[in-house]
Amino acid sequence: MKEERLSARDVSYTYEESADPALKKISLSIEAGEFVAVLGHNGSGKSTLAKLMNALYLPTEGQVLVCGMDTADDSRLWDIRRQAGMIFQNPDNQIVATVVEEDVAFGLENLGVPHDVMVPRIKEALKAVRMTDYAESAPHMLSGGQKQRVAIAGILAMQPSCLIADEATAMLDPSGRREVLDTVCRLNREKGITVVWITHFMEEAAQADRVIVISDGEEALTGTPREVFRQVDRMRELHLDVPHMAALAHELREEGMPLPEGILTVEEMAGEVMKLLCPSN
Ligand SMILES: Nc1ncnc2c1ncn2[C@@H]1O[C@H](COP(=O)(O)OP(=O)(O)O)[C@@H](O)[C@H]1O
Ligand SMILES: [Mg+2]
């Protein structure tokens, strides 16, 4: 049976100083082991949603559940935060210690985890993000991608079931983006960690199991990446792009080339073009 990890039931959220709700009646359900990408134009409510999923904010209306725990239940707050770890955009703001392994230890120390439990957990977490060799390094010497991997290790050490990443690659160069996304994909695949990946990079969203598009605080579209990205015109109405190959396929189809729907990658495009050029193969 499928197990629900994160869910929102008719959730609205209004900031104190604001008249309009930032989120309006959002309902969603994310299952154990899913990798869900969240897309949306600036100001659509993505970060607000992320903060609701980790009890940084409490819904103005409705209910958010993390592993079945209601985020409004004060007595479960630390368990909720431990189960749904969050990483943010700026790697520098997330580093608190002057040595990598101490940084990874920080969350565990706050939870009062005993030293003999902590040491192997830190080791394992650094290994999982492939940063073992940097355990004794100074975090400020690391690249942006490495710093994000250390931040992820800090979360992993707390043995969460979910990882919520709010534009975790936005400040990184292409190789840093790649290494952070690869790390998270691997943790999802190998350790079954449920991932909510907020991004404005369409190519990243294309790797998710499911995409949720929010617009003006409401869910506008949802489906597999292929289902969502074939709706090129709808995405553009929402001020969003689609992966390059989906856009190219759309243009070529409009020019009369009989390409199938659902092309997302260069390999898929090359394969379909070859089929058209050499139909006998
Ligand atoms: N601290 C805040 N106080 C008041 N309004 C806010 C605050 N943070 C965000 N908002 C507003 O809430 C809406 C959603 O913002 P946000 O969740 O940050 O969107 P996104 O992450 O998709 O860019 C926007 O209209 C934004 O201006
Ligand atoms: Mg945001």
pLDDT level of residue 2 (50, 70, 90 thresholds): confident
The domain total for the chain is: 2
Assess whether 143 and 261 both reside in one domain: no
Cβ of 20 less than 6 Å from ligand 1 = no
Q: Quote the CA–CA distance of 224 and 208 in Å, as a whole number.
A: 8
Share of the chain above pLDDT 70, in %: 99
Assess whether 216 and 261 both reside in one domain: no
- Rounded to an integer, the average pLDDT of 74-84 is 95
CB atoms within 10 A of CB 97: 16
Assess whether 192 and 257 both reside in one domain: no
| 110: containing domain | 4-240
Cβ of 24 less than 6 Å from ligand 1 = no
Q: What is the pLDDT of residues 174-196, one digit of tens each?
A: 999 999 999 999 999 999 999 99
The preferred substitution site among 23, 39, 44, 215 for testing ligand 1, maximizing ligand atoms within 8 Å of CB, is 44
Label each residue of 85-105 as H, E or C.
EEECCCHHHHCCCCCHHHHHH
Assess whether 236 and 249 both reside in one domain: no
Assess whether 234 and 249 both reside in one domain: no
Assess whether 151 and 274 both reside in one domain: no
pLDDT level of residue 202 (50, 70, 90 thresholds): very high
Phi-psi region of 33 (alpha: psi -120 to 50; beta: other; left: phi over 0): left
pLDDT level of residue 52 (50, 70, 90 thresholds): very high
Assess whether 186 and 161 both reside in one domain: yes
Cβ of 40 less than 6 Å from ligand 1 = yes
- Kindly report the protein residue whose alpha carbon is nearest to atom 7 of ligand 1: 15
CATH of the domain at 125: 3.40.50.300
pLDDT level of residue 279 (50, 70, 90 thresholds): confident
Q: Quote the CA–CA distance of 175 and 152 in Å, as a whole number.
A: 17
Q: Closest Cα to residue 53, out of 34, 33, 75, 26?
A: 26
Ligand nearest to the CA of 22: 1
β pairing state of 194-198 and 35-39: parallel
- Angle, helix 115-128 to helix 144-156, in steps of 10 degrees: 140
Q: Say yes or no to pLDDT of 1 above 70.
A: no
- Angle, helix 174-191 to helix 144-156, in steps of 10 degrees: 20
Q: What is the pLDDT of residues 231-257, one digit of tens each?
A: 999 999 999 999 999 999 999 999 999
Does an H or E element contain 5, and which?
A: strand 4-13
**For residues 62 and 12, is the Cβ–Cβ distance under 8 A?**
yes
Cβ of 43 less than 6 Å from ligand 1 = yes
Assess whether 50 and 158 both reside in one domain: yes
